[in-house]
Amino acid sequence: MCFSTRLSRLALLLATLAAPALPTPASAELMIAPTRVVLAGAERSTELILVNKGDAQTAYRIDVENRRMRRDGALETATDTRPGELFAADMIRFSPRRVILEPGARQSLRVSVTPPPGLAPGEYRSHLRLMSAPTNAGTATAAPTEDANDGSLSIQLIAVRSITIPVIVRVGTLDATATVDNAALTRQGDNMLVVKLTRFGTRSTYGDLRLTIAGETNPVYSVRGVAIYTPNTDRDVMLPLPADIKTKLAGREVRIDYVSSDPKAPGLIASRRVQL
């Protein structure tokens, strides 16, 4: 293999290694409890439990980052601060910052916040990002070739996975309400239900969406963990429905309940009957 060809391949490899890891869910390998931290009033600390559910020794690196929610509910990295955004990164402390777990092993992660004196009332939020990769990720070894003087390298590329946990700090007396404004089945063959929510108040909402056909008691479908983070005031929730559920709901009157799963603010957030 000529030197220029090896150099081109090495440049491509280094570019691949330097590329930022995509936010691939790591839930298959890492179990975290709880998956959301809310600290309010006199609460200043909590503990997360990490469990390696995979079959390889894995290292986890923990960092804090600011993220914002788009209207479709997706989260993206916030490199600046926009009007109404209140981030908590500067007040979050955690330990340890790096963990190595054997398969099946667990580790506690201590999280605390130190709000500065005189902090204005509001809901402040940042995210803990846990990056995981087997401890042998990126190992470089000499590749066996016909030409022992080739000097080629074989580098095993292993996906680096990540998961984020919101850390929410509530200062002062905050409240929130929401409305279910509308819902409609998409006309494409993607079995999607779009539910439009609007949030009012000074904190985020977090809960489950439950779909119940008129005249029935039990929901036929539900989705957990639907949030509208401040400063967003509305969100289009895209619900991918199984084909049989879409068929069952089409043309029927359906009650949509948005029920809080936030233990600090339990109860029904909003409800609406719609004709699908």
Query: Could you tell me the residue ranges of all domains in the chain?
Result: 22-136+159-171, 176-275
Q: Which amino acid is at 217?
A: T
Looking from the CA of 147 toward its CB, the CA atoms found within 13 Å total 7
The alpha carbon of residue 202 and the mean position of all alpha carbons in its chain are separated, in whole angstroms, by 22
Tokens of 194: 């779009």
Q: Output phi, psi for 3, to 5 deg.
A: -60, -40
Which residue pairs, CB below 8 angstroms and at least 24 apart, start in 267-272?
269/177, 269/178, 269/205, 269/207, 270/177, 270/178, 270/179, 270/180, 270/197, 271/180, 272/179, 272/180, 272/181, 272/183
- How open is the CA angle 33-167-260, to the nearest 5 degrees? 75
The domain over range 22-136+159-171 is classified in CATH as 3.40.50.2000 = no
pLDDT in tens, 20-50: 333 334 445 889 999 999 999 899 999 999 9
pLDDT in tens, 5-19: 443 443 333 333 333
Residue 94 confidence (pLDDT): 97
Residue 138 confidence (pLDDT): 52
Residue 137 confidence (pLDDT): 54
Rg (CA), the chain: 23
Residue 274 confidence (pLDDT): 95
Residue with the two structure tokens 């089945």: 185
Asked, as a colleague might, if the bond just before 231 is cis with ω within 30 of 0, I would say: yes
Residue 4 confidence (pLDDT): 42
Tokens of 188: 């494409």
Residue 89 confidence (pLDDT): 97
Domain spanning 176-275: CATH superfamily: Immunoglobulins (2.60.40.10)
Residue 149 confidence (pLDDT): 56
Residue 17 confidence (pLDDT): 36
Residue 134 confidence (pLDDT): 72
- Hey, do 22-136+159-171 and 176-275 end up sharing a CATH topology, with the first three levels equal? yes
Tokens of 8: 């081109």
Regions of the chain short of the pLDDT cut 70: 1-28, 136-160, 188-189
Q: Which amino acid is at 222?
A: S
Tokens of 20: 């930022």
